[in-house]
A and B are shown apart, each in its own frame.
Chain A
Amino acid sequence: MLPPILIEGLVYANIITLLSIGFTLTYLTSRIPNFAQGTFASVGIYVTFTVTKIWGLNVYLAVPVGFTLNALIATLIYKGILRTLKKHGASLVSLMISTLAIELLILAGINIYADIIQAKLWIISRTFLLKYLDFSYVGLPGIFIVLTIFVLSLTVVLYLFLNRTKFGIAMRAAVEDPDLASLLGVNVDLVSTVSWFLTGGLAGIAGCLIPLWFQSDPNTGSMLTVSIFASSVLGGLSSIYGAILGGYIIGLTEVMGNSVLTRLLGGWAAYYRLLIPLTILCLTLLKAPRGLVGLIESIQTRGYKLQLIRRR
């Protein structure tokens, strides 16, 4: 069977991938780096908590609830706050600091919810792990199977959506050149709204499944922030497939690198797990700022140029 470290790595990589797809999507369509992306996942964590511990239902029933709730929250945030700010001519820096403020608002909301549950229902609502609720199939944990299948099919669905449907093509046009696209009748604002809806939903799904594998509390989501940045930047912040690639690379390197380092240097190395994505982030920005996608593109164009030279 698969070695446990690989399962651990892939579960983490899948979660990071889902979050960084969302991060890249909103960055592409509305040009806002959403620093609250990690905290969106925390909302999902508490949806799972509610569904399993309070309503006593199956864990996987939390996923559709988390998707809808989070998608609505994200849409509301975009429509209510960020678009208003943009209309008032806010600069990029103000938009970034406002996403930090939004992170704070969501975090406070989750904490209030957790406090109320603890006070009224007498259930411990922080630092919980729901691993025991998960099923397992041929020795593989359920979350691993579900997440892997979901991310793979999501890749296919997104590819079909962006290439085969009218709205998907309009979305790509809006990313490429918003002014020209809106001139040709594409509703650029609708495109942004849909992308925020999707971002929230995907983060909700990732968040719903986090408690099945990791110990969770309201801050768990924002701890992932650095990894999300790193994988999105490694992907190049220019295409969703880049984010998927980056998410897998960062997730696997983080988990495996961490295990190798702990084995070589001792248990204290585990504290510095965060330094792995940080190093990759800095190296990417300094050596290949356009990320993996940019790197692949430049290799392709170089090959094309070589062909041209040879033909001459």
Chain B
Amino acid sequence: MELELLTLFVMDTIVFFAIYLLVSVGLNIQMGYTGLPNFGIVASVAGGAYTVGWFVGRFAMMIYGIEGMDFINNNAYVVTQINAKLANDHLTAIMIFLLTMGLVIIVGMALGFITAYPAIRLSGDYLAMTLIAMAEAVRVIGIGFSPIAGGTLGVQVPDPFAWMGKMRYFGVIILILTISIITFLMVQLIINSPFGRLLRAVRDNEVTAESIGKNVVNVKIKAMILGSILASIAGALYSFYASATIPAAFTRYDWTFWAWLMMMVGGTGNNIGVLIGTLLVVLMRRLIAFYKFSLAAFLPFEPLWLELIGLGLVLILIMIFKPQGLLAEKPTRVRGVKSD
């Protein structure tokens, strides 16, 4: 029993770590490396999740020719039927998964492009206000417009991993972790490439970057798109993991604020630091969530609020005493150049 609980805890931590890693690294590309404070990263996460909620079920209905049913209104029935078919048909299931991820990347690009529109025109506080407002709007549209992802109630998503049978739980987690790690390594490659150095140049001094012939606007748009794609993938994976999309879950605390906290704790502008920060924050949150029920016996209130207070204070203390985070940004390593 103890061992089972421990496995559950470790697995839970791993999956949340992998998902949040994508969001915080995406944010790090935008804020840490390019200096665009994206206070609305939740919009991209929600975009990815909505895409999964909207697309997977309908596409599967089309493939299996389930007609006369509305995906949203007859959600539970349709999803059960599809799942039963997907369980014996792993080729279709994998194809659906890959196709959805492709669509999610396109949606992420589109959202990044839209959020880049204010990001290249405004700066600092005005940008932050606009992006917060935009992210709120994305959430409200998701809640209000039920054909996308079921509105307030959310939708169940057919499970393209149903064919894994009993190993489904572990299989999905390993898959999510693999995707996350591979994406992380790819981002590391990008950041250490000339393009990564260009991002930093734009952040440190826009005028200088422009004066040596770099297209600053273009670079900013690319950074916004790249970060947004990562966040959308995270949202999509989260929906696949939970087999559901609930638009009301995409609040600015749960995705924007936590992602910022992870980035600030680990080290703005240092992906390894962000990785450590994500791990620490996720571990803290999971520990609190895990001991919630034993705490609830002593407290006259929901222990969830203690988590908010604790992590809010952590952020403020980090900013007072260690503003660069646990690992400060290091100069990029370039072959043949000694830096330090």
Contacts and interface: CB of A to CB of B under 8 A. Distances in A.
Contact of A286 (B121, B140, B264, B320): B121
B125 A102 contact: no
Contacts of A119: 300-301
B312 A281 contact: no
Interface string B289-316: 0000000000011100110110111011
A272 B315 contact: no
Nearest to A232: B129
| B140, B256, B306, B313 interface centre (most CB from chain A within 10 Å) | B140
Given A271-B145, A277-B133, A115 B319 contact: no
Nearest to A110: B305
Contacts of A289: 122, 126
Interface size bracket, A side: 35 or more
B140 A282 contact: no
Contacts of A133: none
B181 to A, nearest CB: 27
Contacts of A108: 305-306, 308-309, 312
A210 B122 CA distance: 33
A27 B323 CA distance: 23
B132 A35 contact: yes
A285 B126 contact: yes
A90 B84 CA distance: 55
Given A94-B323, A98-B319, A119-B300, A104 B312 contact: yes
A5 B140 CA distance: 23
Interface string B7-44: 00000000000000000000000010000010100000
Interface string A91-124: 0111011101110110111011001100110000
B253 A104 contact: yes
Contacts of B253: 104
B318 to A, nearest CB: 10
Interface string A270-285: 0110110110011001
Given A96-B39, A120-B300, A271-B143, A278 B312 contact: no
Chain A: interface secondary structure?
A: helix
Given A85-B316, A101-B315, A272-B144, A93 B31 contact: yes
B132 A94 contact: no
Interface string B166-191: 00000000000000000000000000
Interface in B79-125: 118, 121-122, 124-125
Contacts of B287: none
A230 B133 contact: yes
B312 A102 contact: yes
A278 B129 contact: no
A81 interface: yes
B319 A226 contact: no
Contacts of A281: 129-130, 133
Contacts of B323: 88-90, 94
B38 to A, nearest CB: 10
B132 A229 contact: yes
B80 to A, nearest CB: 28
A268 interface: yes
B137 A274 contact: yes
Contact of B130 (A109, A268, A271, A285): A285
A182 interface: no
Contact of A275 (B37, B140, B252): B140
Given A92-B125, A96-B37, A271-B140, A104 B130 contact: no
Interface string A223-236: 00110011001000
Contact of B260 (A84, A89, A97, A116): A97
A178 interface: no
Given A108-B308, A116-B301, A93 B133 contact: no
Given A96-B37, A285-B122, A112 B128 contact: no
B329 interface: no
A294 interface: no
Contacts of B308: 104-105, 107-108
Interface string A147-184: 00000000000000000000000000000000000000
Contact of B301 (A98, A102, A115, A233): A115
Nearest to B137: A278
B301 A111 contact: yes
Nearest to A119: B300
Contacts of B136: 225-226, 274, 278
A32 B121 CA distance: 20
Contact of B320 (A33, A85, A102): A85
Contacts of A274: 136-137, 140
Given A85-B319, A108-B308, A271-B140, A116 B126 contact: no
A119 to B, nearest CB: 5
Given A94-B323, A271-B144, A233 B305 contact: no
Nearest to A113: B301
A33 B125 contact: yes
Contacts of A81: 316
B201 interface: no
A98 B253 CA distance: 13
Contacts of B31: 93
Given A98-B316, A101-B315, A285-B122, A33 B129 contact: yes
B134 interface: yes
Interface of B: 31, 37, 39, 118, 121-122, 124-126, 128-130, 132-134, 136-137, 140-141, 143-145, 252-253, 256-257, 260, 264, 300-302, 305-306, 308-309, 311-313, 315-316, 319-320, 323
Given A104-B308, A233-B126, A278-B136, 12 more contacts: A96-B39, A97-B264, A97-B319, A98-B319, A100-B257, A101-B257, A104-B253, A111-B301, A111-B305, A112-B305, A116-B300, A226-B136
A-B pairs with lowest CB-CB distance, top 6: A271-B144, A115-B301, A108-B308, A108-B305, A101-B312, A104-B312
